[in-house]
Amino acid sequence: MLDLAVAYNRYKFLGYEFLTWLWFIVEQNQDIIGSLEEEPASLAVGDLIILKNKLDNNEAETVTIKGDDADLEEAKLALRKGAVVTELNLTYYSDDYQWRFTIKGESLNITGIHLPATGSAESKEDIEGVVIEKAFLYEKSFNLIDALFKQFINIRITSRWENSVVPLIKKWLHL
Amino acid sequence: MGLLSSTSSVTRYQVEGKFEKSVLESVEYGLKRYTFKEVDDDISEKIVGWTSFDNPFNPNFEGHAFSIGTYLVFSMRIDKKAIPSKLIKKYYTLEEAKLLAKSGRQYLSREEKKSVKDEVINFLSSRIPATPYVYDLIWNYEKSTLWFFSNMRAANEELEILFSNSFKLILVRLFPYTTADLAVNLSQAERDTLLKLSPTKFME
């Protein structure tokens, strides 16, 4: 394996592209998400998208689209101008449950994860139950993210990416 | 923002390596060896160690209390002393003035200045209490995964060192490249393709 510090910086673009692809399939191809889950499931773009654009003078411009009624057209415009998606907030629905979280592109770190409600912990026995319940809920959302990333990488390393997926993403950006 | 908080941030790791002896005994040994230790009047700027996730100020790893279901659940505690720079400057200036008056000189040498500053920092460190920070983690030994409930770089770096020292296992942070390399089950040819990838341009 490559030196990890080198690999982190050299391939962080894969994380940015993963978020762009994720946003694209959320809007255009929810079937992919449904096919990864046994229960009915879907993803929706949440209340935050952060994009970064490298300017000619080597400085970076950050575009933050925030709020429940955020205008995603501005984010698409930034993408058309060469920006990358650095953070994407998502809402994940599975059965009657709902998760909210933000994925950071360069690290794949998960921030601000809000799980479905669990029981409260008032005694030591309660704590163990709540920990197991929360761990299950964390794992469920991580499994979805992993399955989607795996799918992305499996497309990204083939010619299908350049020949088929990128033209579709460009078309979607210009809709 | 820990494991039981309503909102959390998580950094995910893959754990490289396995124990040769019993898992629970090995984990208990590592946790006890590097348990967080309170030290009265300690002048260290920072103390790091393991603690119980449900009782971070009174760690107890007896009876494998860290084992919950199929998970190993415990916390890392970092106590840090943050001495305001203005406080250091105040005490340094007073001490410097005393030394100059005593010696009759106008200036201190570079070594003397450093020595005074170190003394001031040690003096203040022994009087200022450290602030405790507790970070929870969930380790699934069978799946070799670990979730650390913080994205702070300094805390993650401390975790990686403490974990390696305690258990002689390596934590690999899962970011785009490592996730692709370790978690996607690529063939060698696909790995070679991955290495040659360059950024896509979606622009007009």
CB pairs under 8 A between A and B: 130
> Which residues of chain B neighbour A85 with C-beta distances below 8 Å?
none
Single-letter amino acid, residue B185: N
Spatial separation of the C-alpha atoms in residues B58 and B80, rounded to whole Å: 18
Determine, for residues B4 and A134 on separate chains, whether the beta-carbon distance falls below 8 Å. yes
Summarize pLDDT for A35-61 with one digit per residue, the tens: 888 888 899 999 999 999 887 777 888
CB A30 within 8 A of CB A92: no
Q: Is B80 helix (H, G, I), strand (E, B) or coil?
A: strand
pTM: 0.89
Q: How many domains does chain A have?
A: 1
Residue B44 has pLDDT above 90, yes or no: no
Q: Is A168 on the interface with B (CB under 8 A)?
A: no
% of chain A residues with pLDDT over 90: 66
**DSSP code, position A83:** -
Residue B120: pLDDT over 80: yes
Contact yes or no for A134 and B3 at CB 8 A? yes
Q: Decide if A149 touches B, using CB distance below 8 A.
A: yes
Task: Among A13, A135, A173, select the one facing B199 at the smallest CB separation.
Answer: A13
- The residue among A84, A109, A118, A161 with the most chain B CBs within 10 A of its CB, best to mutate, is A109
Mean pLDDT, range B19-39, rounded to an integer: 94
Where residue A119 falls among pLDDT bands split at 50, 70, 90? confident
Residues 106-125 of A with CB under 8 A from B: 106-114, 121, 124
**Is A18's CB within 8 Å of B176's CB?**
yes
Whether residue A80 and residue B202 make contact (CB cut-off 8 A), yes or no, is yes
Taking an 8 Å cut-off on Cβ atoms, the answer to whether A8 and B195 are in contact is no
Is pLDDT of A2 > 80? no
B47: tokens are 């103390």
Domain that holds residue A103: 4-173
Whole-number pLDDT of residue A83: 92
